Structure 1
Amino acid sequence: MRSLKKTLGLGLLVSLIAIVLLQWWLVSFTFREITENYVTSRLQGDVDMLLSAITFDQDGQALIELKQQTYFDDKPFSGHYYHIEIGDQILRSATLWDQDLNVEAITMGQRRQQRLAGPLNQELLVLSEGFRKQDHAISISVAEDISALQAEIADFQTRYLIFSGILLLMLLAFQYLLMRQTLAPLHGIQHDMKKLARGEIRAVRESAPSEILPLVREVNRLLMLLNQRVERSRRMVGNLAHALKTPLSVLRQVGHSDRLDDQPALRKQILEQTDAMHQRLERELNRARLAGNNSSGARFNPDTDLPPLTAMLEQIYAERGVKIVLHQNYEGSWAAEREDMLELIGNLVDNACKWARSRIEVTVTANPSMQLTVADDGPGCPPDSRAMLDQRGQRIDEQTDGHGLGLAIARDIVDHYNGQLEFSESELGGLYVSVSLPVNSTASDNIADD
């Protein structure tokens, strides 16, 4: 998804560059037009002066009688020239020396402005006009070297472009600071969303711009409703499981009573159904016991969550003297919900406690994928029976208490996170359970099938 800051910054950059270049071109064009119009007005004065200075003798030959010295009398190639055609007669300024202007004669009433290359590669601005005086057609062209003027215009454009560039940088810096200050609340909301995903907070701060404040408030409202419903559902499930446990125990006692000795089929049916109901109740009670009073969405933190869990299981199996050794080597927190990880590890360690003689080793690592291993010093499991360990309701040894649900629950959670669950023989002699969860895997990637 595109960044709002980058999108606004890029749009602003392109807009400012376009505006600066456009105003640079407009100012340069206007400055050039003003200067050229000034030169043209001066050339127009020269044309009028030359027209008034033209006279004709008795033979009809044209003469130019200037009343005062002008720049047309300067040294050769001074940059000011004229070229007059009257019939077959051509009059040129002395400044042209032995050169000529390559201009075409025009008729009366015509006017033409053009640029030509003059002597010494001068850039000339030429103004030509056609007249009729004393029944003689006259074409007058005057020219001025604008090379120096063009150089000054180019220098002005360069300096103005540098100034525009500096102004552009200042505007961008000001706009960056303004955008940073304006979008600061959004960074705070983004930080809160990350903390919310880790379960560190339960609501997003509402110090947001008015445009997105309704969205933030709606998110907080939905989070509150979600947490309330999850807590309510959890309490209801726990209460229901506890409420059904007593009548279910009565039904099991009835199934084992002597009154059904003459009805073995009925006894079998009652015991099968009560066992199935008991397994489901035990599973839900186990989930509630391991999850505790934690809010939905809280992230799993091995530092604070594992020691109480192992201590509780050691206390449960204190009569057998089982010791749980915890090894941890990881950086940061796991991208998984606390409730799921407690249920996963709790079931694996609880299963190990049922079989272990005296020692269980739990290892937690994250390098980079999340790894969990549980090893015990119990009798272990034959290789040909390990494939059935995580099947729901499957028990390899009927002499041990349980309903065959613990490893099945672990399998459900591992599959939920697109991970892997494997069984092998541990160095302690018992069962070795290995769990691998992908980096940044979350339960939101899948839909639970509970």
Structure 2
Amino acid sequence: MSARTASLQRRLLLSISAAIAIAALVALGAIGYSLFHFARGQIDQRLDAQLQAVEAALEIGADGRLRLTRIIDGPPFDRELSGWYWQARPLAGGESVRSPSLNRADLIASGPADARRNDPGRAHPIDVQGPGTAQLVGRFRQTEIAARSGVRAGVLLIATAPRRAVFAPVIDVGRILVFVLLALFAALFATVLLQIRQGLRPLERIREALIDIRAGRIDRLPEEQPPEVRPLALEINNLLSENSETLSRSRMHVANLAHSLKTPLSTLALAFRDSDGAGGQQARNAIELIDRRISHHLRRARTAALAGGSRSRTPLAERVAELSSALSKIYQDKNIVFDSRIDAALQLACDPLDVDEIFGNLLDNACKWCASRVRMTASAEQMAIISIEDDGEGIPADAVANVLKPGERLDETAPGSGFGLGIAAEIIGLYGGTIEFARSELGGLRVDVSLPAAPGGARTSRAD
């Protein structure tokens, strides 16, 4: 997966998580470094204080040796081999004075103590080896101790602490700090994840709105969008408007072409239907060939125009009510009772003009042949099944096959062109539906039509 096609949420999470992790590591290093220097400073201050106490308690006796005038070995310098040591060594040679914790061992300076003899009176760090293998940190200072005779002798003072006294607090605090930083990272990660999801929510709403547009529940994207997303929504709405206009123009061209070609061609077919001889047969064959080719190309053009049919949502009960109202005026002399049992929630995934064309022809045919009653029922699952029944005389079973033939009229005395049912059947076929004829319980004809139901419409039968 390339960087351009990777998930935006994943990319944002990875980049922000990496930035948080790097910041946490830098913070951990900086805090650890500061803690180490703080701990080392505390140890150095304690050792310097011990050096001052040792210096204040030293004197040179009458025998010329160093000795303490008072006891200065409080905890932890009184614990043997604890790492907390001090030692005073005469620079001119002689016996050293040391803390009880050294257990008569000597501290051996392995650092630059001699190099700092020209800087007396100040304490400096030093590398020291003591008894055992414990690592030590040390401080030393060079001073002079006055004898009773007034002679002053140079003395090297060394105080040490175990290295663990410096690192143990840093490690302890570091462990706590790691847990705190991990908790902080988790909290920041959760907050960032929430913010990213909230930030990408407008895109998810656009996706859901596009699903509603495809299902026909809405026509356009809501224009109330965040400023960053509003241009995208406006461009999509403009595209939908252009597609709708293109669809309308295509439908108009198809309708014009159908009326300008199909009707004259059907008239020619009727004119040559009873012609005898080779010329009449050739004319009928040519007309049939032209009719097939025109039907083929009209079907392709109409199918392309209806490619967005899934976005259409036509309330069937409303359209049937309007058609029934219009037909009741046309056939007012028959006082037809229209019994519509179609759920108001049932919607067809068909263009409203096509619905009017289909059911206008079917209802007109029912009104034409009924005695006084027309009943309409419907049920729906994936496909809606709509039944139109009348209480007329019906049609013979052997005549059903001829009903849908263009220009075919079972009763030449009745008004009409014979194209209505054929046009309705052709439109139904373009939507993948079917049309069937049967005997009605009312005594007349029952026409069963199947058409695609729009998602979210009625799903229960309202027929008795």
Q: TM-score, normalised by structure 2?
A: 0.55
Q: Which sections of structure 2, spanning at least 5 residues, go unmatched?
A: 90-94, 114-125, 142-152, 412-417, 457-464
Q: Which of the numbers 275, 292, 308 marks the counterpart of 2:322?
A: 308
Cα 1:246–1:152 shift into 2, 3 Å: closer
> Which structure's CA Rg is the greater one?
2
- Contact 1:344/1:410 (<8 A) preserved: no
Q: Does 1:410 align with 2:412?
A: no
Q: Does 1:42 align with 2:45?
A: yes
For residues 37-116 of structure 1, the aligned pairs below 5 Å read 37-42=40-45, 45=48, 65=67, 70=72, 72=74, 81-82=84-85, 93-94=99-100, 96=101, 107=110
Code of the aligned partner of 1:25:
L
Code of the aligned partner of 2:28:
W
Cα 1:56–1:75 shift into 2, 3 Å: closer
Q: Does 1:360 align with 2:375?
A: yes
- Contact 1:343/1:410 (<8 A) preserved: no
For 2:128 and 2:385, locate their aligned partners in 1 and report how far apart those are by CA, in whole Å. Answer: 89
SS at match of 1:305: helix
Cα 1:407–1:204 shift into 2, 3 Å: same
SS at match of 1:399: coil
CA RMSD of aligned residues (A): 6.6
Q: CA deviation at 1:185?
A: 6.6
Code of the aligned partner of 2:173:
I
For 1:229 and 1:15, locate their aligned partners in 2 and report how far apart those are by CA, in whole Å. Answer: 49
- Contact 1:126/1:143 (<8 A) preserved: yes
Code of the aligned partner of 2:136:
V
For residues 50-449 of structure 1, the aligned pairs below 5 Å read 65=67, 70=72, 72=74, 81-82=84-85, 93-94=99-100, 96=101, 107=110, 126-127=136-137, 141-143=160-162, 145=165, 149=169, 153=173, 157=177, 164=184, 168=188, 176=195, 193=210, 196-197=213-214, 204=221, 215-216=232-233, 218-244=235-261, 247-248=264-265, 251=268, 254-255=271-272, 264-271=277-284, 274=287, 297-311=311-325, 324-329=338-343, 336-339=349-352, 342=355, 346=359, 349=362, 353=366, 358-365=373-380, 369-374=382-387, 376=389, 378=394, 393=405, 399=410, 401-402=418-419, 404=422, 406-407=424-425, 409-414=427-432, 428=441, 431=446, 433=448, 435=450, 437=452, 440=455
Q: Give the paired residue count.
A: 402
Q: TM-score, normalised by structure 1?
A: 0.56
For 1:36 and 1:42, locate their aligned partners in 2 and report how far apart those are by CA, in whole Å. Answer: 10
- Contact 2:435/2:450 (<8 A) preserved: yes
Q: Which sections of structure 1, spanning at least 5 residues, go unmatched?
A: 119-123, 416-420, 442-450
Q: CA deviation at 1:363?
A: 0.9
- Contact 1:109/1:130 (<8 A) preserved: no
Cα deviation digits, residues 67-94 of structure 1 (max 9, x gap): 67545466955988227799xx998744
Q: CA deviation at 1:304?
A: 3.5
- Contact 1:238/1:284 (<8 A) preserved: no
Code of the aligned partner of 2:389:
D
- Contact 2:138/2:160 (<8 A) preserved: yes
Cα deviation digits, residues 131-167 of structure 1 (max 9, x gap): 9xx9xx9997533856994698369738965995798
Cα deviation digits, residues 89-140 of structure 1 (max 9, x gap): 998744x599x99x997756596599xx99xxxxx98326899xx9xx9997
Cα deviation digits, residues 337-357 of structure 1 (max 9, x gap): 434872796389459838877
For 2:397 and 2:61, locate their aligned partners in 1 and report how far apart those are by CA, in whole Å. Answer: 135
For 1:310 and 1:331, locate their aligned partners in 2 and report how far apart those are by CA, in whole Å. Answer: 18
Cα deviation digits, residues 207-236 of structure 1 (max 9, x gap): 667766665554444434333333223333
Partner of 1:33: 36
For 2:7 and 2:320, locate their aligned partners in 1 and report how far apart those are by CA, in whole Å. Answer: 38
Percent identity, please.
17
Cα 1:147–1:15 shift into 2, 3 Å: closer
